[in-house]
Structure formats: C-alpha cells, structure tokens
Structure 1
C-alpha cells in the first residue's frame, strides 16, 4: 500500500462510527480471545483439539467440499483418525515430523488433521518445488516419512536418492477420490489409502496430550542463503490465529468458505480454515485458482465467504463482467494484499461488504486484522509492536544519540517490529543463527527484545497500519515469496551468464514485484535467439514459474559499493524504465516461450496495461 490520502488516517470519530457494526462481533470475538489468550505453552491446544470440538458441535454438518466430493464433520474426522492410528502403529510420536506434498484436495486436509492429533509436525512442502530446492526443503526438517500425491510424485521420485529417509517411508495418494478407489501405488511408494483401511476411526487419546508449545506445521519461507527456510508454527500460535482471525470472521454452520489459495501457505491452511473450524462451517477448496471458474464455484458451493491474496483480487477485477459475479452469498473476505486502488471498486462490483485484510508472517510475532472494517488498512493489532524510523539508503534503523530507536509519527512510514513477550513469543526458524539475525535487542530500553519483520508500514493511527513494502532479500510475486539469492544462483548457472543480481520491480496495475535480474555475460559471449528460449527452459526446470525473472538487464559490469555489495537500490529505482537504463533489457511477455528485447512500444504497452502479467 504505497499511496495514502488524508482520509486513510484514522481518528477517534472514525473509530466511534464503526462501534455499532463492531459490537455485533463482540460475543464471538470474546469467545475466541478467551481461547487465544488464556492458553499457556503447557495446556492442551491446537488444530486437532479444535477440530474435535467442531465435530461435536456439528457432527452431520458439511465440513469439506471439493469438486463433487463432500464430507461431513463425522466422516472427515473418521478418515483423519484412521491416518492418526496408522502412524501411531508404525511408531510416530509427538515431536516427529512428516513432510506432506499434495495439492489442494481432501487427502491433504485429512492428513493434516490426523497428524495434528498425534502431535506430529506437518511440513507443508510447496508443490511447485523441484530438484535441489525440494531435496533441501524435505531434508531440512528431518522427517520420518513423506506423504506425496500422484500429482507431485515425479518431483519426489527425481530426488529420492538425495532424501535422508529410511526405506518404505514414502507414502502415496492416488490423484482421485481415494475413499472410493485407493488406486495402485507405483514402485517405491506405499499406498496410504490402503495402509489405513483397517485402522479404527475413533478419536486417538493423543489429541488431549498435544500442548501449545508443540509444533503443528513447518511452513517454508524464502531464505537469504538461496534456499527455503522452515518456520515452526506451534499449536499455541494456531490457537491464537483461531481465537482472533477465526472468530472475527464470524462464520456459522450455514456458512461456506471458498478457498483457492495454496494450502502450503499460512493464509489458506491457517487463516481461512481456522475461521471455518471456529464456526463449524464448510471449507470449499479448489485445487488451483481459476479466474474463469471462480464465480461458477462460488455459486456451485453456495459460498458466503472467500479467502484471497492481492493477485486473486486483481485477476477478478480484470476479468470481463459476468452475471455470476452478483447474486451470490459472498459478503465477507479474509486475506491480504488488497490494493488500495481497487479496494472500494472491488466491494462495489462484487457486492462484498467486509474485507478482513490482515497482516502476519509465518515466522513473526505481530499481527493485524481489519476488525473495524476500514478501507485501505491491514487493520488493528492487539499485540505489542512499534513502527520505527528506518534509513533505506543505509538499510538500518535510525537511532538517537543514546543509540535507541525512534518511533515514527502518525502518517509516516517506518520499519515494523514486534515486541517479544511471553504472550507474543518468537517461535523462530529451525536454524538458531537465523533467529539471531532477526532479533533486535535494547531497542528502546536496556533488556527489551523485538522481532524485525523486515516490512515497512505506515502508522495511520489507533493501532492501525498500512503495508508499504518489503525489505531485504525477498520480494512477493503471484502471491508467493521469492528468494533473490535462490534465483541468482539458478540464473548464474546458465553457461553464458557470469553473475546475476536479482530484485523485484513494480509493474503498473499488478500486485507485488516482478522478478528482474541484472546479468553480466562471460567474456566473449552474446545471447542469441536460441539462448532466449533455452534460458527460459532451464529456468523453469530449476525453479517455480512465479520465481522466473520477468526482466533481464544485460550489464557490462556489475555496480558495487565500496564494500563490494551490489547496488540493488539503484537497480530497483531504475527498474525497467528505458529512459533510466542505457543497457539492453529483455522481457518475458505473458504466455511467451522466449525472452524478447524490451522496446519503447512494448514498454508503453506495459505502462498502459496491455499485457496481463
């Protein structure tokens, strides 16, 4: 959210005007906050326990729909219990890790619930990962087993020899309704649907022994070393999300949440789903997002709420008007990244009344949610935080004469930091060294500690903020975090490229930042027509599609600082503006199979939104 108007600032009268609407949420919110804030690290907590309570409240109600499949709370619970009992039988115990790599479908949901009930931490592997990045992600968390869907089997099979996993611990689900047809497992994989068939369907006793301090998920974020980091998401943290986001949404047993977001991300698996569980509502999932099918599905599933990220909203706004986009039950949305320039237009066009924009990171300890339903804000935060002055040129916080950080004034932009307390702990990464890198000590007074989010936000008053930008070595594109170092390593592997510097650049009318790589070529090398195709082929083999650079800037020499650091700020500022760059720029236009030279005509068409990146 880079643009602000005076109307975005929030004052006492603005809050007062929202009180009547807010009061309707209070009973539900109080229930959730009790669960969220009365928890301790040693009390029973988490997804498994909350799901069993939802089963008790609404046993015959619909818990999950996918395509033409439908499962009641009792049916889904029974399936999850069989998975739990099977893994208990082979020795899985609280504290173990099992990696799961399945696209959005019921087998993923059942596996997550079942493993959560026995205290196993589920490593939610990004289904777009391949090659050494995938091997790293799995080995990083030291799993005792891997559960993979047929749709991801080849990617796992390709790196099988690199996995630090004992024999007979690769489990497989067929790419179909495995409750009616288990299918035949390929060589080297055990058919999980067959393995669990004879196991009991009653609740395992272990659910009550899972405590807040126990791990629930490993969620992967982009790493500055070039490979993903695994962030621990505890049951206590899930309970906090459940008690806040889940209950603020205010769903009930008649509601249906439609989610097309990938369930290996926290927005889908935590934020959207915990709202469903809190209200014993229905979770309607789609394997992958589709603009053309979106409103069809909303009507098919009779959805009343949707999960979103900014890109999804932009795609829907870009689509031609359709009769299906009105006359539905959707009044609520929950997610993040809604652009201010389409916020009110989106509500008007699609008849949405409430946009529960939120801010949270997989590893962080500070969160915001738009509980008062203001426009253009990530919302309100009950957790202790500060927005401090930050020098972008020096890439460090501004400090006073005594070495202490200084807060920004209302309306100003600064670095968001979350205070680390018993109620707002920093659970951190698997690597203790990475934890040290994001913790700030003695910020305002001796002995205090804060988590550095790496995000710039604007303080707009009354504990509300606007998201502005992301610092550091990651940027967000297509709703995914992209590691610049990871992409740099892959781009530099191309035989004619000597080195690469990767950064994100803004394209008008899009969310996030598109990848751009400034490259230098090996001595005597030129890029010909074949290279422009072959580079793309190799990039796509080695990294997910969203990480492939959209722009390549060919430099004779990399510009560095006196300490030999690449001058990324200058490159980011110049972007792909031909007037600021006297070097050749290549662009990967939508739906093309090769890079082409960025001409003035193409540049102008990009500015005029003639291409849909």
Structure 2
C-alpha cells in the first residue's frame, strides 16, 4: 500500500476534479435547490427513537397526491392512493395470519408492482421485510431462511410472501419448519385482496407507532466471510438514504424511474423506492433485466431515469448499436460500479445527461453520492471518514508502531473507514458478533470507532473518492459480493477435490473480479460433474469461472500468502498448471 510505483487499478481520469469542474457542479446544485427543498432533505437525525417509518412516509405521500402514478409496468399504471389502499389490504391480510410488530416476513419474488406493495404492507405492521435472493440454491437458501426465522419474534412462524415461480423453491427449504398456512402467494393474494372489505383500506394503527430505530428490512450481503449475512436497514437509515440520494438524483414529480434490478438488491429496494417516494415520482418495474430489450422497455414505460450496477452498463454497451439507443427519454442514470474506462463511452452512446454514481453498502454507515456531477468518481461525502493503509489480503488496517491506523496520501489506494457517531450509526447485521468484526476500534485515538467497509479507495480531492478494489476474503462479480470461504466450502464438498483456495481475477471487458479456484485433485475429479455439483450449491454468480489444478497448496492456517500470489497470477500466468473454464456443459480445458 505504500509502494511508489503506480497502481494499475487506480483510475487516472483525463479530466480530474478541479476547482472549475466543482464550480460547475455547485452551480448545478444551487439551480436545483427549489426542487431539493420541496423534498425536504434532512441528512442528520440525532433522535433515533423518533416516530418515523417507511410506511408512514408512503402513506403521507399518497395523501398528498393520490392520483399521481407510483407503479407501472408498460400500460398498467397504479396511483399512489391505489397502492396505499392495496398495501393496507395486504397489511390486514397478514395481520389475520398472525403477523405483528417485531415479526419477520420473508419476501421471495421477482419484480412486480405487487411485490413493492407487499413490502410496504409488511413494514406498516412494524414487522421486518426479509429480502430473499431467489437465485440462491441449496444450502445458501436454507441458511437465509434460517437467519430470518431466528431473527423474528420467539415462537412466531415465519411467513413467506412469494410469487408463483419462487413458490416452486419452497419444498426444498427444510432448515426451517414453516406451516403451509404461513405462505402468502403474491399472484393469488393480490387478486383476492383487490376485492377485500373497504374497511381494510385504512392505514393500520401500527404504522404510526413504528420508531426510526426499528428494523425495516433485512438485506442479505456476503459481508467479508462465510455464509450470506442479513444486514439491518432501520427505518431511520432508510430515511437518511432517501434524503441523501434524493439530493443526488433530484427526481421531478413527472419522472419515471426504470427499475430492472431485483428488489432484494439495495439499489432497487432503497435507492429507487425511496427517491421515487420522496419526489412523488413513478417507478416503472421490469420483471428482470434484459440487455436486448432494455431500451425498448424503457421507451414503452416512458422512463426518464434508471438505476444500474456497473455490469449492467457493460451489457448495454456490448449490444449492437440500434436506433433505440437514442430514441428514449432517459436523462439520468444512477447507480454504482460504472468503471472509469467506460464512463464516457456509455454517456456518449446513449445520450445520458447526468450520471449519479454513488458508493454505499447495506451494512455500512456512510455513503458517497455524485451530487456535484463530476466525472469518474463515486462522489462526495460530508460525514467523517478515513482512507488508511491496509493488508490487502486480510482486509484489515495496518497499524503503526504507536498502535494507530495510518492515513495514506491523496492518490494512493487505501482502505475506506467510516467514523461511527450519532450522525453515522451502524445498524450492522442480525448477528452481533459479525457486526463487531467490522468495527475498527481505537483507530486514531482511544475510544473512537470506525466501520471497515472492506473496500480499497483513492482520495480525489474535494472529499470525493474513486473505487479501486474489494479487499480481503470477498470479491465482487456480476454486481454481487462473493465470499471466498463459502465457495471454498462448496468446492471441498465436491468429489475429487481435496483442497481449494478461491480468489477473484480480472477479466478483460468485465467489471469486478471473476471467481477462480486453485484446487488439489485426486483420481475421482470429473470437471463436468464438478460444475454440476457447484451449481447445485452456489448461486450462479458465485460458481468459479476458472479452476486451476495445482500439485499442492501452502500449508498455512489461512492460505494468506498463497491467495495473494495466486490472485496476482490470474488465469493466464499459471505455468504448467492445467486450467479449466466454466461452460454450459461443465468445466472444460482452457
């Protein structure tokens, strides 16, 4: 981290952040102040026990403009008032099933207007919406349901809201006994609730009793090690995100924000829903992302903005040019992971006026938003943070002779830490021990505490940073965090694989790092069968793209040195070691 040689991962924009570019950004922000003021941003809330909730905010928005469009899929449009009434009917139906404040309701469903409405209903009851990644197979899915069941009220059954397609996954969930009566099918319930007793359309009394400190959502993230963890999103932190992202996106009431990311992803669940509600704008919901149909769907939905992850932008650029590339009305794109090397190409090809790149994490206490419209940056943060020297393998800060962490100079990659305070609290995970592992204590002085983001950043000046890499035992691929320990556990269960070490490698033309594993095999190794076994245990994005067969692995307790050296080799500099690449049929020699 202290080497003087240039780090090839560090962005080197040809137009760095300057006084003149910042002046233009500040003027743009000032010009939009009336719009921002109407959305009543308030980034700092010292009273975490105030009565405020996601459900209350939506009910108030529906009362202000009941006829304004809130959800649409193509020609089907639902107004704020209608969605609020539907959410209240959902809340009534869930209450009849025994759901009450403090319970956890799992939601496992593809994108649809009804999915959003059900999520709002759950939090109106003071219950917690647990977002399940339906792409998780096998053990990971069982683990996620087990986490949600353990987090709920003692003795309460875990209610699961699902759509028809995800309902087919339920019989395989054997880690948690769930009574069939506890299931709620989005498709069937949505139709039945449409004709429900009008008395159930009033806001439930519980919506006004929820406090900002209460959890609203559990969002699964890989964190840094082991199985997926459920990070906690409180109502108050959702409000801070609402106001912070609203200041960056600055949506207008007539905007239509196109959502193709799944709602178990925080970009969709928080960034999209929160900013739309704050602005009184509309969400256009796509069942799933399709690169070939993206612009056609955006045009059909009259979209003016959309939310992305970096890989989505690459997929769009990889499509053959066609007239719809510029036939849309989208003026704004917001998200994270748009790499500097494709930033200008993306903007120029699709005619996007503003890119609101941001950096945040479900479990983190700080975030950066590109509110000043700078190029090739994740944005600005007003809260205290530090970029410090780190061990790139462990993902932990390096401490000097005095026992304190060490800041790195501007332009030098370092580990991002967010200072924990009353202005920047952490909700953490449902597991307190996992939360504690992410806290760096006595960093600069006795008694202080910082949240370890696990991400390598570089200071750009003017309190802006650029993303460089993911550190430690996690890498990012296809917009998802992949925990190396989880993948290693799956590999070590495969017949013919004796040992494994997993790491992420750069692949040209892709964001993040692709999964690669160094494995020690025996006579029973079958590359085709190995792929089948891994696909049954891991979500698609976590299945390693490459397998490198090595004669042995380093005999250390954590394979730290081995992992660093293997990661540096990539998938090409492997000497005589055989390398297999994942194909549709299984692993095949590269």
Same fold flag (TM > 0.5): yes
| CA 269–432 in structure 1, closer or farther in 2 if over 3 Å, else same | same
CA distance in 2, matches of 1:151, 1:393: 40
Match of 2:542?
547
Match of 1:588?
582
Do 2:263 and 2:269's aligned partners in 1 also have CA atoms closer than 8 Å? yes
Q: Secondary structure at the match of 2:181?
A: coil
Q: Secondary structure at the match of 2:507?
A: coil
Among 131, 154, 169, the residue aligned to 2:182: 169
Deviations along 1:525-557, one digit per CA (max 9) or x if unpaired, are 054xxx332222222222211111110001111
Deviations along 1:225-270, one digit per CA (max 9) or x if unpaired, are 5311111100000000111102431212211000101110111110
| CA 508–337 in structure 1, closer or farther in 2 if over 3 Å, else same | same
Once the two structures are superposed, the pairs formed by residues 320-339 of structure 1 within 5 Å of their partners are 320-339=320-339
Among 104, 108, 128, the residue aligned to 1:121: 128
Q: Secondary structure at the match of 1:335?
A: strand
Q: CA deviation at 1:7?
A: 4.3
Among 78, 88, 93, the residue aligned to 1:86: 93
How many equivalent residue pairs?
576
Gaps of 5+ in 1: 183-192, 599-613
Match of 1:558?
553
Match of 1:434?
434
Among 43, 47, 61, the residue aligned to 1:40: 47
**More moved, 445-454 vs 535-544:** 535-544
TM-score (norm 2): 0.93
Q: CA deviation at 1:284?
A: 0.5
Q: Secondary structure at the match of 1:168?
A: helix
Q: CA deviation at 1:564?
A: 5.7
Match of 2:528?
533
Do 1:44 and 1:209's aligned partners in 2 also have CA atoms closer than 8 Å? yes
CA distance in 2, matches of 1:292, 1:427: 38
Do 1:333 and 1:355's aligned partners in 2 also have CA atoms closer than 8 Å? yes
| CA 75–224 in structure 1, closer or farther in 2 if over 3 Å, else same | same
CA distance in 2, matches of 1:198, 1:537: 51
CA distance in 1, matches of 2:558, 2:287: 47
Match of 1:96?
103
Do 1:309 and 1:335's aligned partners in 2 also have CA atoms closer than 8 Å? yes
| CA 446–57 in structure 1, closer or farther in 2 if over 3 Å, else same | same
Match of 1:265?
265
| CA 29–537 in structure 1, closer or farther in 2 if over 3 Å, else same | same
| CA 275–510 in structure 1, closer or farther in 2 if over 3 Å, else same | same
| CA 196–237 in structure 1, closer or farther in 2 if over 3 Å, else same | farther
Q: Secondary structure at the match of 2:443?
A: coil
Match of 2:4?
none
Match of 1:146?
160
Q: CA deviation at 1:153?
A: 1.3
Deviations along 1:310-345, one digit per CA (max 9) or x if unpaired, are 011001111111101113210101110001111011
CA distance in 1, matches of 2:469, 2:69: 40
CA distance in 1, matches of 2:243, 2:535: 40
Match of 1:292?
292
Match of 2:58?
51
Gaps of 5+ in 2: 1-7, 153-157
Match of 1:27?
34
Once the two structures are superposed, the pairs formed by residues 105-116 of structure 1 within 5 Å of their partners are 105-116=112-123
Once the two structures are superposed, the pairs formed by residues 279-428 of structure 1 within 5 Å of their partners are 279-392=279-392, 396-428=396-428
Among 76, 82, 89, the residue aligned to 2:83: 76
Match of 2:467?
467
Q: Secondary structure at the match of 2:430?
A: coil
Deviations along 1:263-321, one digit per CA (max 9) or x if unpaired, are 10111110122111111111011111101110001110110001100011001111111
CA distance in 2, matches of 1:234, 1:389: 31
Do 2:114 and 2:190's aligned partners in 1 also have CA atoms closer than 8 Å? no
Q: CA deviation at 1:197?
A: 6.6
Alignment pair present for 1:137 and 2:144: yes
| CA 331–560 in structure 1, closer or farther in 2 if over 3 Å, else same | farther
Q: Secondary structure at the match of 1:291?
A: coil
Once the two structures are superposed, the pairs formed by residues 506-517 of structure 1 within 5 Å of their partners are 506-517=506-517
CA distance in 2, matches of 1:382, 1:223: 24
Do 2:39 and 2:279's aligned partners in 1 also have CA atoms closer than 8 Å? no
Q: Secondary structure at the match of 2:293?
A: helix
**More moved, 164-173 vs 460-469:** 164-173
Once the two structures are superposed, the pairs formed by residues 134-213 of structure 1 within 5 Å of their partners are 134-142=141-149, 143=152, 144-159=158-173, 161-166=174-179, 168-174=181-187, 179-180=190-191, 193=193, 200-213=200-213
Structure with bigger RCO (C-alpha 8 Å, 6+ apart): 2
CA distance in 2, matches of 1:398, 1:431: 26
Q: CA deviation at 1:30?
A: 4.5
Once the two structures are superposed, the pairs formed by residues 569-588 of structure 1 within 5 Å of their partners are 569-577=564-572, 579-588=573-582
**More moved, 390-399 vs 62-71:** 390-399
Q: Secondary structure at the match of 2:168?
A: helix
Match of 1:597?
589
| CA 310–34 in structure 1, closer or farther in 2 if over 3 Å, else same | closer
| CA 136–262 in structure 1, closer or farther in 2 if over 3 Å, else same | same
**More moved, 470-479 vs 364-373:** 470-479
Q: Secondary structure at the match of 2:36?
A: helix
Once the two structures are superposed, the pairs formed by residues 204-283 of structure 1 within 5 Å of their partners are 204-222=204-222, 226-283=226-283
**More moved, 548-557 vs 1-10:** 1-10
Deviations along 1:40-97, one digit per CA (max 9) or x if unpaired, are 2122223212211221232111110125532111111111000112223343222211
Q: Secondary structure at the match of 1:63?
A: strand
Q: CA deviation at 1:351?
A: 0.7
CA distance in 1, matches of 2:140, 2:251: 38
Q: Secondary structure at the match of 1:114?
A: helix
CA distance in 2, matches of 1:262, 1:6: 31
Q: CA deviation at 1:38?
A: 4.0
CA distance in 1, matches of 2:354, 2:558: 49
Alignment pair present for 1:567 and 2:559: no
CA distance in 2, matches of 1:551, 1:61: 50
Deviations along 1:398-422, one digit per CA (max 9) or x if unpaired, are 3333221221222111110000001
CA distance in 1, matches of 2:339, 2:560: 33
Do 1:558 and 1:566's aligned partners in 2 also have CA atoms closer than 8 Å? no
| CA 196–416 in structure 1, closer or farther in 2 if over 3 Å, else same | farther
